[in-house]
Amino acid sequence: MSRRLESASGMQALMADSFRECDAAARDPAGRVAWCSSVGPVELLRALGFAVFFPENHAAMLGASRLATDLIPTATAEGYSPDVCSYMTSDIGAWRRGVTALSRVDPSIARVPRPDVLVYDTNQCRDVLDWFSFYGRQYGVPVIGVAAPRGVGVVTGELVAAVAAQIRALVPPLEAIAGRRMDPDVLARVVAVSRDTSVLWRKVLSCGEARPSPLTFFDGCVHMGPAVVLRGDERAKAYYEGLLAELEGRVAAGEAAVDGERVRLYWEGMPIWGRLRQVSELLAGLRASVVGSTYCSSWVFDGLDPDAPFDSMARAAVELFISRSDAVKEGILAAEARRYGVHGIVFHDAKTCPNNSNCRYGMPGRLLRGAGVPSVVLHSDLNDLRLHADEGVRLALEAFVEQCAEAS
Amino acid sequence: MGGPFFSGIDVGSSYAKAVLLDASGAVAAEAVRKTGVDFAAVAEALRVDLLEAAPQARGQVARTLATGYGRGNVTFADEAVTEITCQAAACWHLFRRALTAIDVGGQDTKVITLDGEGRRTSFLMNRRCASGTGAFLEEMAARLDTTPEGLETLAAAGREAVPLSSFCTVFARGELLSLIRAGRAVQDIALGVYEAVVRRIVEMARLQGDVVLTGGAAIPGGVLVRRFEAAVGHPVLVPPHPQTTGALGAALLAMRAREGQR
Ligand code: SF4
C-alpha cells in the first residue's frame, strides 16, 4: 500500500461514531433512521434529524472485508441474478444471514440499523431502487426517492427543475416520518456544510495533481468515507480540513504516496474492493501512482447553494458523472487526464455494475484516437471476487505500466 | 559469433519456452517444454537445454529476462517483464512496421497494437473465459477424443466448418455433443472449432496494420493461420518460430537492457 496518511486513525473513529449513532437511533423509540443512496438527497434527511445509513457504504465494507463473495449466493438463491449489482446482492445476502460489516467496526453492533424510511436517487442506476425495495418490503417501511434522468448531455434548466420538484415532493412524507417540520434555516445550514465538505474533498483530491502525488486513488477510497457517510455533518468538514493540511504538507515537502513515482495513472470505474490493498501494493511496487479517479470525485458537489437548496441539490444530482452521456464523460475523462498529467487510464469493467463501467461503448478507443490517452481495461467486479482473476489483473496492470514507462 | 549471450525464458501456462541470443542478436539455441506444475524447475531445465544446445555459452550468459505466467518463479533471471511487452519487442524486431500482434496463448489471447515506430499503443486480453484461446482448442480436442495435434489433422481434412455459436466452452462442449449426435463429419466439426477461435479473436479489436499471429497454435500454413487469413481477407505474418516469440522478445530485451538502450 502507499504510505499511510496520519489522518487515517481519526477517520476510522469518525466512521465508527457514525455507525454507533445509527445503531443508537434505531434502538431509541424516539430516534429516526433513514437509509439513503450514496448520492441521494441526504441534506433533507439530516435537516429533519434522521440518523442516516448508507447501504452502499455497508456493501463496500462487505467487499473490502472479503465477506461479500460468500454472501452473494444467498441473494442469488432468492432470485437475484448473479449478474446484477454485487453491492446489492452481497448486502441482501448479509441481511438474510444476519451478518453485518458494522460488527467488525464495533462488535457491540449486531445488525444494521432498522430504517424508518429508505430514500433513493436513480441518477446512478435502477439497481439501487430494487435494492431499497427489498428492505422496504422486509421492514414494511416506505421507499421514496427521485427518478432522475440518466445519460444526460446538456444539463438544462428544465431537467434541474424537474428533479428539484421531485426533491421538494419528498419533504412532506419525510416530515411525517420524522415527526417534525422542515426548518428552512436548518436545511440551508446543512447544505452549506455539505458544500464546504465537498469543496474540501475536491481540494483533497486535487492534491493528486502534484508531482509526486501525495495520495493515491486507493487512499481516496478509504478517506472518502466521511464525504459519503457524513455529508452535511460538521465533523466531516473538520476531518477534511485536517486531511487537506496533511496532504498540503506532503506536497510542500515533495513527499510521495508511492516512492519513486515514475508512472501516473487515472482510475475509471468502481474499486475492486476485495483487492484494494493488493492492487495498490502491486502498483506501488511498479512505482505507478493512481493519482485521480472518477469514483472518488463522485462525491464532489461544489455547486450546492444554501440559498437555493432544492435547485442546487437537483443540479448536483443531474451533473453527476455517472448520470451523464458518454460524450460528456469522454470530455471529462480527457480533461481529467490532462489535469492530473497521467500517462493513461485504467478502466475497471465491473461485471455487475454496467452503470459505472464506462469502457463498454468504445470509450477507450475514442480517448486514444481523440485525446491521445491510452488505457487498459480490467475485467473484474466491485464485490464478487468470483468474477475476478488475480493473474489477469496483474498482467494487465504490469503490461500497462511497462507500456506507459516506455512511452515516457 | 560468441558471447556475451542473452537468454529469455517464457514460462507460459501450457508450455515453457527459452531462447538464447549471441552477441550479434542471432538465435544460438531454443528450447520448449511442457510447463507442468513446478515453474522454477521447468525454467531450470530450459536453462540446461539451452546450454546443451549451445555449449559455447556456458559461463557467458550475461543477462536473463523472464516472462510469462511463471515469470516470478525464474530464480536465475535478472529481471521479469510481461509477455505483452516481450511479444511486442519480438514482433517489432522481426517485422519493423505498424502491426497488430495476436498471441494465441494456452490461457489467454492477447492483441497488441504497435505503431510505425514500434511503440505499443494498446493491448487487449480476452475476457474471463477460454473462448478464443489455446485452452478452448485443448478442451474441444479432448471432447473429440483426440490431442491438439490430432485436432489440427482432423480440421485440415475438414471441408466445411460447422458453426459453433457459443461463447462459453462448457456450452460449446454441449454443442459438440449435439453435432456428433446429428452425425456431422468430425473433420468439419474440428474445422468449426478453429473457426470459432478465429471469430472470437477477430472481434476482440479493430486489427490495424499487418497482422502477426504467434503462439503454439499458429503453425505456419496450419489451419488456424489459414482460417484467420480467410477471416481478415488477407495474408497474415507468422514468425519462423511462433511458439517462442515471447522468449525471443525476452532475450532481446535482456540484450537491450545490457546495452543500456531501454
Ligand atoms: S451504481 Fe453500480 S455499484 Fe452502485 S448501486 Fe448501482 S449497480 Fe450497484
| Residue in A with minimal Cα distance to B86 | A399
Adjacent-strand bridge partners of A120: A145
For residue B44, tell me if it sits in a domain: yes
Amino acid, res. B148: P
Predicted confidence (pLDDT) at residue B167 exceeds the cutoff of 70: no
| Residue in A with minimal Cα distance to B125 | A396
Position A163 scores a pLDDT of 97
Cβ contact A144:A129 at 8 Å? no
Smallest CA-to-CA distance from B64 within B21, B1, B110 is with B21
Pairwise CA distance, residues B214 & B222, whole Å: 12
Which ligand 1 atom minimizes the distance to the CA of A131? Answer: 5
Interface of A with B (CB under 8 A): 351, 364-365, 368, 374-377, 379, 387, 389, 391-392, 395-396, 398-400, 402-403, 406-407
Q: Which residues of B touch A391 (CB under 8 A)?
A: 69
Q: Which residues of A touch B128 (CB under 8 A)?
A: 351, 379, 387, 389, 392
Position B262 scores a pLDDT of 42
Select from A364, A379, A400 the Cβ nearest to the Cβ of B127. Answer: A379
pTM (2 decimals)?
Answer: 0.91
Smallest CA-to-CA distance from A104 within A219, A12, A225 is with A12
Domain boundary (B180, B199, B218) is at B199
User: Splitting chain A (408 residues) into consecutive groups of 10 residues, what average pLDDT does each group show?
Assistant: 75 93 96 95 97 97 96 96 97 97 95 98 94 98 96 96 97 98 97 96 97 96 93 92 96 96 98 97 97 92 93 94 96 97 98 96 95 96 95 94 92
CATH of A210-221+256-407, one of 3.40.50.11900, 1.10.3720.10, 3.30.70.20, 3.40.50.300: 3.40.50.11900
Domain co-membership, B195 together with B248? no
What are the grid coordinates assigned to A356, written together? 459505472
Pairwise CA distance, residues A166 & B114, whole Å: 52
Domain segments of chain A as ranges:
8-185, 210-221+256-407
Phi-psi region of A130 (alpha: psi -120 to 50; beta: other; left: phi over 0): alpha
Q: Which residues of B touch A392 (CB under 8 A)?
A: 108, 125, 128
Pairwise CA distance, residues B9 & B241, whole Å: 15
Ligand 1 centroid to Cα of residue A353, in Å, is 5
B69 touches chain A (CB under 8 A): yes
Classify burial at B219, counting beta carbons within 10 Å of its beta carbon; exposed 0-12, middle 13-18, buried 19 or more.
Answer: middle
Rounded CA Rg of chain A: 20
Cβ contact A198:A227 at 8 Å? yes
Position B127 scores a pLDDT of 63
Ligand 1 centroid to Cα of residue A150, in Å, is 13
| Helical spans, DSSP H, in A286-325 | 309-319
Q: Which residues of A touch B206 (CB under 8 A)?
A: 365
Nearest CA, atom 2, ligand 1: A353
Sheet containing strand B61-67, edge to edge, reads B27-34, B15-21, B5-11, B61-67, B79-80
Select from B69, B82, B125 the Cβ nearest to the Cβ of A402. Answer: B82
CA B71 distance to own-chain centroid: 15
Position A158 scores a pLDDT of 96
pLDDT band at B135 (very low <50, low <70, confident <90, very high): confident
Question: Does A395 sit within 8 Å of B121, measured CB to CB?
Answer: no
At which residue does the C-alpha cell 422542515 appear? A182
Interface of B with A in 178-237 (CB under 8 A): 206
Ligand 1 centroid to Cα of residue A224, in Å, is 17
Pairwise CA distance, residues B250 & B245, whole Å: 9
Helix (H) or strand (E) holding B87: helix B83-95
Ligand 1 centroid to Cα of residue A134, in Å, is 15
Q: How many domains does chain B have?
A: 2
Adjacent-strand bridge partners of B112: B101, B123
Query: Which residues have C-beta atoms less than 6 Å from ligand 1?
Result: A 56, 85, 87-88, 124-125, 127-128, 270, 353, 355-356, 382
Question: Does B82 sit within 8 Å of A406, measured CB to CB?
Answer: no
At which residue does the C-alpha cell 448520470 appear? A323
What are the grid coordinates assigned to B82, written together? 510481461
Contacts of residue B59, Cβ cutoff 8 Å, sequence gap at least 6: none
Adjacent-strand bridge partners of B16: B11, B33
Q: Helices B186-202 and B223-232 meet at what angle, rounded to 10?
A: 50
Position A2 scores a pLDDT of 63
Which ligand 1 atom minimizes the distance to the CA of A126? Answer: 6
B129 touches chain A (CB under 8 A): no
DSSP string, A121-166: ETTS-SHHHHHHHHHHHHHT--EEEE----SBSS--HHHHHHHHHH
B81 touches chain A (CB under 8 A): yes
Tell me the best of A35, A37, A54, A355 to mutate to test the pocket of ligand 1, counting ligand atoms within 8 Å of each CB and taking the most: A355
Fold adopted by A8-185: Rossmann fold (3.40.50)
Pairwise CA distance, residues B254 & B61, whole Å: 10
Select from A368, A377, A398 the Cβ nearest to the Cβ of B82. Answer: A398
Longest dimension (CA), chain B: 61
What are the grid coordinates assigned to A367, written together? 480517448
Q: Does residue B149 sit in helix, strand or coil?
A: helix
Domain of residue B160 covers 134-199
CA distance A374 to chain B (A): 7
Question: Does A406 sit within 8 Å of B119, measured CB to CB?
Answer: yes
Domain co-membership, B80 together with B10? yes
DSSP A300: -
CATH number of the domain residue B14 falls in: 3.30.420.40
Q: What pLDDT, in 10s, does the model give residues B16-49? A: 999 999 999 999 999 999 999 999 999 999 999 9
Cβ contact B136:B113 at 8 Å? no
Position B174 scores a pLDDT of 82
Q: What pLDDT, in 10s, does the model give residues A69-103? A: 999 999 999 999 999 999 999 999 999 999 999 99
Helix (H) or strand (E) holding A289: strand A288-293
Q: What pLDDT, in 10s, does the model give residues B176-194? A: 888 888 889 999 999 999 9
Smallest CA-to-CA distance from A50 within A24, A76, A88, A71 is with A24
Q: Which residues of B touch A406 (CB under 8 A)?
A: 85, 119-120
Mean pLDDT of B150-171: 85
B121 touches chain A (CB under 8 A): yes
Spell out the SS3 assignment of A254-265: CCCCCCCCCEEE
DSSP string, A179-248: TS---HHHHHHHHHHHHHHHHHHHHHHHGGGSSS-S--HHHHHHHTHHHHHTTT-HHHHHHHHHHHHHHH
| CB-CB neighbours of B170 under 10 Å | 10
What are the grid coordinates assigned to A166, written together? 421531485
CA A297 distance to own-chain centroid: 8
Pairwise CA distance, residues B106 & B126, whole Å: 12
Pairwise CA distance, residues A285 & A204, whole Å: 24
What are the grid coordinates assigned to A207, written together? 492534491
Smallest CA-to-CA distance from A358 within A301, A295, A284, A285 is with A295
Cβ contact A170:A119 at 8 Å? yes
Q: How do strand B61-67 and strand B5-11 relate by DSSP bridges?
A: parallel
Classify burial at A24, counting beta carbons within 10 Å of its beta carbon; exposed 0-12, middle 13-18, buried 19 or more.
Answer: middle
What are the grid coordinates assigned to B72, written together? 516470478
Classify burial at B34, counting beta carbons within 10 Å of its beta carbon; exposed 0-12, middle 13-18, buried 19 or more.
Answer: exposed
Identical topology for domains A8-185 and A210-221+256-407? yes
Sheet containing strand B99-104, edge to edge, reads B120-125, B109-114, B99-104, B210-214
Q: Does residue B117 sit in helix, strand or coil?
A: coil
ipTM passes above 0.95: no
